[in-house]
Amino acid sequence: MIRGLCVLALLGLAANWVLLQSAVRIVNYSNIAAVFSGDERAVIHQPRKEGGAVYALLEELHRPGDQTLVFGQSDFGFYGTGSWIDNFDEALLDLYRVQSAEEMYDRLKDKGVRFVFLPGYTFSTFYNTRVIDVLGDPRFAVPLESHRGFRLFELRDQPANYSCRRVDLMGKAPSVYEENAPTALLTRALELAVPLPIPRRGRTLALDAPKMFLQQAEQIEPLVDRPRWFSTYKQVYQRAGVVFGGSMGLPPIEPELFIRANESVLQITLALESEAYLEVLLLEHMRGGKQSTTTLADGLLGKRGQPLTLQHNLDSNVESLQLMVLAPKNPDAVLTVSNAELCFLEIEPAQLDTQSVGQKSQPNLSLLERQLMDTTMSHRFSWSPNDRRCTTSGHTECNDLVLLQDNTLGHARFDPYPDIPVLYNAGMIVSDETLSYLAYDASLAVARIQAWIRNQSDSRVASVADAIFGLFLSNPIDPQEPTIAYDLRFDSFGSADAIIQAYVSWRDDEGEVRVVYAGDVSGASFDGDPVRRLQTLLPAVVTSPNLVLVVSGSHVAVTSASLVPAYQ
C-alpha cells in the first residue's frame, strides 16, 4: 500500500511539470479556430502574445517601401509587416562601425529604414553599436509602442529639437534589490561553508543580506560599501542590483518619479561599469496598482565604455516609475554606477495626430484627477495575515503602529514628520471596533482576490478564474438592488512609498459581513491637496457602513477619514 502510494506520488511528480506547463501554454496561447481557419497571425491580437500590439501598430503605420531594422528576425518575419533588415545581416557590418549617432541615423535613413523593432532582449549589435544612441536620442527616434518587452521605434524624417524635465537620480536614495527567497539564504550559507564557487543561475545577491555575507563580501572586494548617496562619491556594488527611487514592488518615494500630465516619453541616461551581464529594467507603476516591468537593455552593458541612452514610451496608465539595474548572473559582479539621469518628454503637438495610434489618448489631467477617475475594481495585492491593524476613530490611537527601526539596509530613511504617527509597512484602520477581525479577514480576502482577478485584464487565466469564482461567491451587491453612491474621503500625507486601499463593509439583514472594494490611492500628497477621494456604490438599505483602510508600504499618515452619501 505504502509502496503503491509512493509510486503514485512519483508518477504525479513526474507528470506535474508537463501538465502545468501545458496548461499554461493552452490557456495563454491556444487558438484552434485560428489554426483551422489558416489565420496564423491571429495570435497578435491575443494580449498574451509578446509584441502583439507592436505588430498591430506596425501593420497600421506601414507604408510601401518602409524598411524595418529588426533585432528578432524570426518573430518579426512571421508576424510583422513589410520587408526588413536583420541585425545579423553581414551587409550591416560597415554600418556598425560608424562612430556617431548622427552618422548612424543618416546611414539608416539612406537604407530606407523607418522603423526599428526590438524583442524582449538586446544583443550586442544593439548596445555595442551606435544603434542604441540613435534610438535613445529624441532628436532621431520616437518610441512608438511597447508590449510585453517588444518595442517599436520610428526614426524621425528629420532630426528634431526637444526639451524635457530632467531628474538626476544620483542624489536620490537608491535601494538595494533584496531577494528574500529562503533558497537564496541557503545558497549564501553554503557559500560561506564551502570555499568553492557555488554555481548559480539567474539570481541576484543583495548587499542587505545577512551580516555574514557582508563581511565575506568586504573581504573579497574592499571597495564595497553600502550605497547611500550617489552624489558624494562613486558607488561600487558587489553582487547587487539597485533600484532607483525606493523599494522594488512599491511606488517610488521620490515625487519627481511620478509622471506629469502629457509626459509620454522617457529618456534614460546611465553610466555603468561592470564586467558582468547586466539588465536595465523599468518598473512602471500603473494606475490601480498594477506593475509592468520592461527590459530596456541587457547584456555586457558595463563594458561598453560609454553611457547608455535609452528611450521608452509611457503608457497613459503609468503613474510613476522606478529604474533598476541588475547583475543577475555573474556571482562576482561588481557594478559601478557613475551617472543616472531621467528625462521626461512631453508629447509634441505635431505628433499627436500621427502617433495617436501608438500613444493611447492621454487626457490633460492632474494625477489627483486621474486618481479620482479611477473607480474601477483596482487593487494592489499586498495583504497578509501579518498586517498590523488597529481600530480607531482618529490617528492618535494608532501610535502602536509606528515602527521606528528601518530594516531596509541601504535605504535612506525618509521621515519628515517626526511628530505625527507614521504607519510603517502595513496597517488597517477600521472604523467599527465591534466587528470581528476574522469576518473581515475572510471577506476582505475574498474581495481582494476578486478585485485582483478582475484587474488582470489581459490574463485569460484570470478571466477563467473570475468565472469560476463567480459560481461560488455571490456579489456583495445584488444587481437588482437599489444603490446609493458614497464618497470616501480621507486625509493622508507622507511619501508615495505606500498604497492606501479602501473597502466598505456592512452587515446585511442576516448579520453577514459584506465588503466592497472602493479603490486605492498612493500615499503621497500631490498638488498640495492632502484629501483622497474615492466613490463607491452601496445598497440603499445600508445604514451604517464602515470604512476600512489598508495601508501597505511605509511612511504615510492617515489623519482622518469619512464615508458619506454623495448627495450630502
Partner 1 sequence: MPLGPVCVAWVCWVVYQTAAYVPELDALLVSWFVVLGAMAILSLFCRKQIKNLVKECRKVVEARYLVVNLPRLSVLELLYYAFFFLIFLLVFYQILSLPFLENDSQEYVLVARHILSNGSLAAYPVTDTVLSGGLYAPSSHPPGYVMLLVWSFLTSGGDSLLHVRLASAFHFVGLLIIAFGLRHFRLREVAVAAFVMMTTPLVISMVVGYHVDGMRLMLFLAAVIWTALAIESCDLKVVTVAGAVAGFAAFSHSIGLLAIGFGGISILAFWRGRLVLRLLPAAVFGAVAVAVGGYQFVENTVVLGAPLMDAPPVFVDEAIGYTADLWARRDIDLWADKFVYGVARAWFELSIFGLGYWAFLYLLVRNWLAGQINKDLIVILLWIFSFFALSVMTVLLGSELIIKNPRYALTTAPLVAIFVAGCLRSCRGRLQ
| Footprint (CB under 8 A) of partner 1, residues 125-144 | 125, 128-129
Task: State yes or no: residue 86 binds partner 1 (CB under 8 A).
Answer: yes
Q: How far is the CB of 197 from partner 1 (least distance, A)?
A: 5
> Closer CB to partner 1, residue 278 or residue 314?
278
Task: State yes or no: residue 184 binds partner 1 (CB under 8 A).
Answer: no
Residues 334-393 that bind partner 1 (CB under 8 A): none
Give the one residue of 7, 186, 220, 402 binding partner 1; rule: CB under 8 A.
7
Task: State yes or no: residue 100 binds partner 1 (CB under 8 A).
Answer: no
Give the one residue of 2, 193, 196, 471 binding partner 1; rule: CB under 8 A.
196
Strand locations in 380-447 (E): 390-391, 423-430
Give the one residue of 262, 316, 317, 330 binding partner 1; rule: CB under 8 A.
330
Q: How far is the CB of 416 from partner 1 (least distance, A)?
A: 43
For 408, the 3-state DSSP assignment is: coil
**Strands 235-238 and 334-346, how do they pair?**
antiparallel
Q: Rounded CA gap, 376 and 537, in Å?
A: 12
Q: How far is the CB of 267 from partner 1 (least distance, A)?
A: 24
Q: How far is the CB of 302 from partner 1 (least distance, A)?
A: 11
Task: Please identify which residue in the block is written with the cell numbers 536620490.
Answer: 172
Give the one residue of 57, 58, 87, 113 binding partner 1; rule: CB under 8 A.
87
Task: Please identify which residue in the block is written with the cell numbers 529594467.
Answer: 281
Q: How far is the CB of 220 from partner 1 (least distance, A)?
A: 15
C-alpha cell at 105: 541615423
Q: Of the ranges 58-66, 159-167, 194-202, 231-239, which one interacts with partner 1 (CB under 8 A)?
A: 194-202
For residue 462, the number of C-alpha atoms closer than 13 Å in the C-beta half-sphere is 13
Task: State yes or no: residue 14 binds partner 1 (CB under 8 A).
Answer: yes
Q: How far is the CB of 89 from partner 1 (least distance, A)?
A: 4
Residues 15-44 that bind partner 1 (CB under 8 A): 15, 17-19, 21-22, 25-26, 29-32, 34-36, 38, 40, 42-43
Q: Rounded CA gap, 217 and 240, in Å?
A: 11
For 168, the 3-state DSSP assignment is: strand
Q: Rounded CA gap, 255 and 424, in Å?
A: 18
Q: Do residues 58 and 114 lie in contact, with contact meaning Cβ atoms separated by under 8 Å?
A: no
Angle between helices 460-472 and 2-29 (to 10 degrees): 120
What track of x and - describes contact with partner 1 for positions 405 through 434 (by CB under 8 A)? Answer: ------------------------------
For residue 195, the number of C-alpha atoms closer than 13 Å in the C-beta half-sphere is 1
Give the one residue of 191, 298, 315, 497 binding partner 1; rule: CB under 8 A.
298
Q: Count residues near partner 1 (CB under 8 A).
A: 71
SS3 content of the chain, % helix, strand, coil (to 5): 30, 30, 40
Q: Do residues 241 and 270 lie in contact, with contact meaning Cβ atoms separated by under 8 Å?
A: no
Q: How far is the CB of 76 from partner 1 (least distance, A)?
A: 9
End-to-end CA distance of the chain: 70
β-pair partners for 236: 336
- State the SS3 of 182-217: HHHHHHHHHHHHCCCCCCCCCCCCCCCCCHHHHHHH
Q: Of the ranges 141-149, 199-207, 485-493, 554-562, which one interacts with partner 1 (CB under 8 A)?
A: 199-207
Q: How far is the CB of 22 from partner 1 (least distance, A)?
A: 4
Give the helix/strand (H/E) hosting 486.
Answer: strand 483-494
Q: Rounded CA gap, 49 and 47, in Å?
A: 6
Task: State yes or no: residue 300 binds partner 1 (CB under 8 A).
Answer: yes
> Closer CB to partner 1, residue 196 or residue 438?
196
Q: How far is the CB of 18 from partner 1 (least distance, A)?
A: 5
Give the one residue of 66, 96, 387, 535 binding partner 1; rule: CB under 8 A.
96
> Closer CB to partner 1, residue 25 or residue 165?
25
Q: Of the ranges 1-9, 151-159, 335-343, 445-453, which one interacts with partner 1 (CB under 8 A)?
A: 1-9
What track of x and - describes contact with partner 1 for positions 249 through 288 (by CB under 8 A)? Answer: ---------------------------xx-----------
> Closer CB to partner 1, residue 87 or residue 552?
87
> Closer CB to partner 1, residue 29 or residue 229?
29
Q: How far is the CB of 201 from partner 1 (least distance, A)?
A: 6
Q: Rounded CA gap, 536 and 538, in Å?
A: 7
Q: Of the ranges 116-124, 341-349, 438-446, 526-534, which one interacts with partner 1 (CB under 8 A)?
A: 116-124
Task: State yes or no: residue 472 binds partner 1 (CB under 8 A).
Answer: no
> Closer CB to partner 1, residue 124 or residue 269?
124
> Closer CB to partner 1, residue 87 or residue 492?
87
What track of x and - describes contact with partner 1 for positions 50 through 79 (by CB under 8 A)? Answer: -----------------x--x-xxxx-xx-
Give the one residue of 2, 13, 193, 404 binding partner 1; rule: CB under 8 A.
13
Task: Please identify which residue in the block is written with the cell numbers 530606407.
Answer: 112
Q: Which amino acid is at 335?
A: L
Cβ burial of 460 (10 Å; 0-12, 13-18, 19+) is middle
**Strands 263-273 and 334-346, how do they pair?**
antiparallel
> Closer CB to partner 1, residue 12 or residue 470?
12
β-pair partners for 507: 513
151: region left, alpha or beta (phi > 0 left; psi from -120 to 50 alpha): beta
Q: Rounded CA gap, 534 and 549, in Å?
A: 12
**Strands 498-507 and 390-391, how do they pair?**
unpaired
Q: Do residues 502 and 488 lie in contact, with contact meaning Cβ atoms separated by under 8 Å?
A: yes
Q: Do residues 542 and 564 lie in contact, with contact meaning Cβ atoms separated by under 8 Å?
A: no
Task: State yes or no: residue 90 binds partner 1 (CB under 8 A).
Answer: yes
> Closer CB to partner 1, residue 241 or residue 288?
241
Q: Do residues 165 and 262 lie in contact, with contact meaning Cβ atoms separated by under 8 Å?
A: no
Q: How far is the CB of 177 from partner 1 (least distance, A)?
A: 18
